[in-house]
Amino acid sequence: MLSVLKNVTYRRLFAAQAVALVGTGLLTVALGLLAYDLAGSSAGAVLGTALTIKMLAYVGLAPVINALVVRWPKKTVLIGADLIRAAMALSLPFITDVWQIYVVIFVLQSASATFTPAFQSLIPTIVTREKDYTRALSLSRLAYDLEALVSPAVAALLLTVFSYNNLFLGTVGGFLFSALMVGITVLPKVPVAAGPQAPLWHRTTLGTRIFWRNRRLRSLLALNLVVAAPTALVLVNTVVYVRDVLHRPDTDLALALACFGVGSMVVALSAPRVLDRFGERAVMLTGAAVIPVVLAGAAALTLLSIPGGGWWPLLGLWFLLGAANSTILTPSSRLLRNASTEETRPYVFTAQFSLSHACYILTYPLAGWVGAVAGLGWAAATLTIIAMIGSAGAFLSWPRHHAGAALEPSEKEQSLEHPTRHARGLRT
């Protein structure tokens, strides 16, 4: 899998991504401590609002920003987004009111909503071979999983020496390093359509319309909902499972979250070989079939009042959820690449970024509110139903024929809707 790092351009961009992710992880820890300093016992409400603002920026602004900057040089977009993120992180230690957190998080996450889709859509242009691209996707998935494991450990180590405000400096350093790596990298020129641009609304909605016209991408929409269900359960309710249901110490919270990350890492490491053998459809729909079953097991863990021995089943369930999630997340960019050209790729990747995060606006509140009102078992049961709906949609939408191949001509013709067609007076 590491052979793809022989590509100098990709190696530098991967280093930029990995270091920026660690910095983002430090930001998460420091932001929680800052919220507690400002709001005390209401820190959870502050973080919940900040998380909602983050998702709204991802869902509402990402397509608009992409439509505005699509003709800009990729290097300018990536470096500019990194510098804005660094500036916002640098301002966080000087915040004195809760509302200021919301403003800074909105601007920072808007910059992330610019950076991430642009970065992801650039990789297929750099890594063109199918096998190498799959390895690149696996490394990217691994970077996200390692960030979830490494950042809390690094933060805990730094907090033994420094105050939490210094963690924000680590975040700034991560974003500046990312900007430096992008700056010294020679990026390929992405073709830009000639002629006048289409209206902003046309460009903003182009990626979503391509999704809707392509059966595999419609299936990916449903799979996004499947992934959002276990992710919400784990991120929102693990602390309650560990402390209130199983009465375990705080250190076991990190262990439970680590099991989720390790499960994802195991699949990410094996993804290139598995995808070469079975193809995207078999791998991704297997994850869609497994997730509702495992979520039902998590519901039973509480509803059936399994005694103290429920700790080991919880670790096993979280490992399986992480693994099943990774079977969907790791190959997803292959579908996006196959359904787009170099001209439409930024629109398609941005649509995936926005639409996938829209699912969390549904599942995060469900995980928290149902868990608080009716209990964790019913929260898991509700998310099981959500995952089942998404799984059914994925199975029904994804055609069985040519599961791992490129698009059929009729589908491809629909997917390659040119962003300037409207400007030329043609119907879209």
In this prediction the pTM is: 0.77
**Range of 39-53, 151-165, 358-372 with top mean pLDDT:** 358-372
Whole-number mean pLDDT of the chain?
A: 82
The class of domain 1-190 in CATH terms is: mainly alpha
Higher pLDDT, 8 or 251: 8
CA distance 30 to 189: 38
Position 293 scores a pLDDT of 97
The pLDDT-based confidence of 378 (bands split at 50, 70, 90) is very high
Tell me which amino acid residue 362 is.
L
Average pLDDT over residues 225-248: 85
Calpha distance 153→175 (Å, rounded) = 19
Higher pLDDT, 310 or 87: 87
pLDDT exceeds 70 at position 232: yes
Residue 5 has pLDDT above 90, yes or no: no
pLDDT, mean of residues 53-58: 83
- Top pLDDT among 27 and 388 is at 388
Per-residue confidence at 139, pLDDT binned at 50, 70, 90? confident
Which of 4-13, 284-293, 399-408 holds the top average pLDDT?
284-293
Task: Of 15-24, 263-272, 400-409, give the lowest mean pLDDT range.
Answer: 400-409
- Please choose, from the candidates 233, 234, 212, 230, the residue with its C-alpha nearest in 3D space to the C-alpha of residue 352: 212
Cα torsion through 217, 398, 280, 131, rounded to 10: -50
Give the residue-averaged pLDDT of 33-43: 74
Residue 353 has pLDDT above 50, yes or no: yes
88 burial type by CB count under 10 A (0-12 exposed, 13-18 middle, 19+ buried): buried
pLDDT above 50: residue 404: no
| Amino acid 85: pLDDT | 93
Which of 110-114, 287-291, 374-378, 399-403 ranks highest by mean pLDDT? 287-291
Is the pLDDT score of 191 beyond 60?
A: no
Could you give the CA distance from residue 404 to residue 381 in angstroms, rounded to a whole number? 33
Task: Tell me which fold the domain 197-428 belongs to.
Answer: Growth Hormone; Chain: A; (1.20.1250)
Give the count of alpha carbons within 13 A of 337, CB side only. 23
What percent of the chain stands above pLDDT 90? 26
Dist. CA 29–CA 78, nearest whole Å: 25
Give the residue carrying structure tokens 């297997």.
286
136 φ/ψ angles, rounded to the nearest 5 degrees: -65, -40
pLDDT of residue 419: 43
Task: Characterise 305 by phi-psi region: left (phi > 0), alpha (psi -120 to 50), beta (else).
Answer: left
Q: What is the pLDDT of residues 261-315, one digit of tens each?
A: 889 889 988 888 898 899 999 999 999 999 999 999 999 888 776 555 588 899 9
Cα(20)–Cα(79) distance, integer angstroms: 12
Sequence ranges of the domains in the chain: 1-190, 197-428
| Average pLDDT for 180-188 | 89
372 or 231, which is more confident: 231
- Whole-number percent of the chain with pLDDT over 70: 85
Average pLDDT estimate for 343-369: 86
Q: Please name the amino acid found at residue 297.
A: G
Fold equal for 1-190 and 197-428? yes
What's the pLDDT score for residue 407? 44
* Alpha carbon 351 to chain centroid, angstroms: 13
Q: What tokens were used for 408? A: 């059929």
Range of weakest confidence among 11-20, 66-75, 265-274, 301-310: 301-310
- pLDDT higher than 60, residue 166: yes
> What CA–CA distance (Å, rounded) separates 190 from 419?
15
Q: Residue 67's pLDDT is what?
A: 77
Q: 3-state SS string over 136-193?
A: HHHHHHHHHHHHHHHHHHHHHHHHCCCCCHHHHHHHHHHHHHHHHHHHCCCCCCCCCC
The label of the residue with tokens 């039973």 reads: 300
